Amino acid sequence: MQTNLGQANLVENKICLVTGASNGIGYEAALNLAGMGTKVILAGRDERRTSLATQKIIGQTGNENVSYLIADLSNSAGVRQLAKSFLDKFHKLDILINNAGAMTGYRQVSADGFEMNWGLNHLNYFLLTHELLDLLKASGTKNSNARIINVASMAHKRATINFDDLQSEKSFKKWQAYGQSKLANIMFTYALAKRLEGYNVTANCLHPGVVATGFVDNIGKIENLLSPIIKLFLTSPQKGAQTTIHLAVSPEVENISGVYFSNSKPKQSSKLSHNEAAQERLWEISKDHVKI
């Protein structure tokens, strides 16, 4: 666990919600932030795993202000329940880290009827952020912006938003479906940042690296066979979480919004991600999908 004293002073006593925090990047981000004195709330789907992760973080950091909430973020009811549970228990939100996600090896449909990559990876981010946005706006100040951090992926660079087949009903290709959802994360971030101008809230997104987590074990038969070899060349979850942590705590990005990061540095995302007409079309479709 890496802790910088200056960063610790910046986030001590702040409140942070991290989704997908029972393992991998989310867990490492929660661990580091807790070590800096942040009040951290882990959101996970499995209560046993999320509870164990929470206790482990408390044990390693000595920070008793670490707790958890349980929710299935693949459907709108689960997202709304998480937001309600958070709002019932906490009076502010300084840092929202949208991290929960997955890639399915075959076409699956969420409880809402959406293709799973679309529902979990994109609509989850979109709806949870909207449900908590008023609290984020109320929590940010002129001296300390509230921060929204969306974990995306470089997989977006070869993807498109297929507006004629968003749910992959005509054709399902796992890397396209996943890449499309990650491109949607970035386009959502850019459109959100524009809407947040004039408020004390920033929104940024990032590529964490190709990280050695359980994600690799769940993406298909060929990848499963090669998983032990593939993992030799992957980034550790600890290293993969560093850009997320940087965006959460660094004074360098205090007033930066609407930017894509990799290795804790601003990077150029795909040309399509900057298409404002496509961003707005995606925004309106997403609103319709989650009924807001």
Q: What positions carry a catalytic annotation? A: 178
* Helix-, strand-, coil-residue percentages of the chain, each rounded to 5: 50, 15, 35
3-class DSSP state of 261: strand
Kindly state the tokens that stand for 154.
């470089």
Kindly state the tokens that stand for 131.
């449900």
Closest listed residue to residue 24, CA positions, set 196, 169, 215, 184: 215
